[in-house]
Amino acid sequence: MPHDTPLISTIVGGLVFAFAFGMLALRLRLPPLVGYLCAGILVGPFTPGFHADTALAPELAELGVILLMFGVGQHFSIKDLMAVKAIAVPGALVQIAVATILGMGLSRFLGWPLGEGLVFGLALSVASTVVLLRALEEHGWLETEDGKIAVGWLVVEDLVMVLTLVLLPAVAGALGGSQAAPTLGQLGWTLALTVGKVAAFVALMLVVGRRFIPWMLERIVHTGNRELFRLGVLATALGVAYGATQLFNISFALGAFFAGMVMAESPFSHRAAEESLPLREAFAVLFFVSVGMLLDPQVLLDDTLILLTTVLIIVLGKSLAAYGIVRLFRRSHATSMRIAASLSQIGEFSFILAGLGMSLGLLSPRGQALILAGAIVSILLNPMMFALAERYRPAAPVAE
């Protein structure tokens, strides 16, 4: 029997340490995710002792993102998405612009080139899918109007990041990266191709997927085999997400979200959500562990003031921008606070963008370290932001 089993070691080590530190966090009256992040730091490559596989952990965490977005899609119909587009689309775009400008301002102060500042600012602008959805579920906001606005906002942010990840290599040379600068025609073709792929995927899911997936689910239910039903749900979530990435260059999260939305057309969608819940929770924990593994604690000592400024941009800059935008749409103070709290962190797309920036020669190791550390600190502070927003929840009417 081979004993060099990085996959098993990573899953077992991540879950065991997450459980231990999650329990400790609860005893200290802290959210469990604080314990999960600390567990990740402990099993990461920058601390002594047991080390999980830094390549496998993010891939396992991506499964959690897929299953989480699939579950959200099942509770979020196309009608709901269209109902919040008037606030989610302009809101997300303006908030991304504000956060990017703030990040570029900090990079300008540090003397970084334009390309690095742009990547740094964009990485600070997009919220974490897992953190946002977990928080909305814990506070019972996911299926409220405020929760639907937050999810719609998140979908728009993800779409913008999909376009960014496709376009960035094409413009890296013009921004000072290691690749040659494209012509205007090449840039226009890349943009048109990306938009076309996204539109083709959405059309495929709306025309074919919303008929085939509910029909398939109904056929499986009629077999009376619960195991096959569970397998069909997981195969749909993972298969559509993987296919969307391979064929249309769309993120796993967005692919799974649309798969969940079309599965919502089936009367068995709630049962499907329940069947996927255990795996969804387990892999979501591995997501937080994988995030903790990325942090080099030395960054907290070497760049304390710059890191503090980065965190302020994420937690306060983004939140204030979101709050102001929602208020401009004549929404209540409580709604504005909830949306602001939902977006006051960064996560998986930020890590992907930072990695791409590094590979293109646009982002320095220092910039990547600040993004990673800023993400972890903002995730740790996110429960506090939700607690602040919770104080403005309207009081329940008193029964007479």
pLDDT tens string 299-329: 778 888 999 999 999 999 999 999 999 999 9
Choose between 175 and 392: higher pLDDT: 175
Q: Kindly provide the b/e burial profile for residues 111-131, where b requires at least 16 CB atoms within 10 angstroms of the residue's own CB.
A: ebeebbbbbbbbbbbbbbbbb
Backbone angles phi, psi at 296, to 5 degrees: -95, 110
Residue 14: alpha-carbon gap to chain centroid: 20
As for how many domains the chain has, the answer is 1
CATH number at residue 82: 1.20.1530.20
pLDDT at 238 exceeding the cut of 60: yes
Could you report how far apart the first and last alpha carbons of the chain are, in Å?
A: 70
Rounded CA-CA distance 85/308 in Å is 34
pLDDT at 40 exceeding the cut of 80: yes
Residue type, 16: V
Question: At a CB cut-off of 8 Å and minimum separation 6, what does 252 contact?
Answer: 62, 65, 66, 69, 241, 242, 244, 245
Rounded CA-CA distance 235/216 in Å is 12
| In-domain check, residue 345 | yes
Pick from 1-15, 34-48, 154-168 the range whose average pLDDT is largest.
34-48
CA distances from residue 400 to 292, 393, 395, 396 in whole angstroms, order as listed: 50, 21, 15, 12
| In-domain check, residue 293 | no
Average pLDDT over residues 217-226: 86
SS3 helix, strand, coil % of the chain, rounded to 5? 75, 0, 25
Nearest CA to 300 out of 308, 292, 312 is that of: 308
Only one residue has tokens 């400024």, namely 309
Contacts for 326-331: CB closer than 8 Å, 24+ residues apart: 326/87, 326/91, 326/149, 329/86, 329/87, 329/91, 331/87
Given phi > 0 = left and psi -120 to 50 = alpha, else beta, which region is 126?
beta
Rounded CA-CA distance 296/376 in Å is 11
pLDDT at 397 exceeding the cut of 50: no
For residue 99, give its domain range.
62-286+307-391
| In-domain check, residue 5 | no
pLDDT band at 38 (very low <50, low <70, confident <90, very high): confident
88, 155 in Cβ contact below 8 A? yes
Residue by residue, what is the 3-state secondary structure of 346-379? CCHHHHHHHHHHHHCCCCCHHHHHHHHHHHHHHH
Average pLDDT over residues 111-116: 91
Residue 47: alpha-carbon gap to chain centroid: 26
Average pLDDT over residues 44-65: 81
Prediction pTM value? 0.78
| In-domain check, residue 8 | no
CA distances from residue 298 to 48, 176, 385 in whole angstroms, order as listed: 14, 28, 26
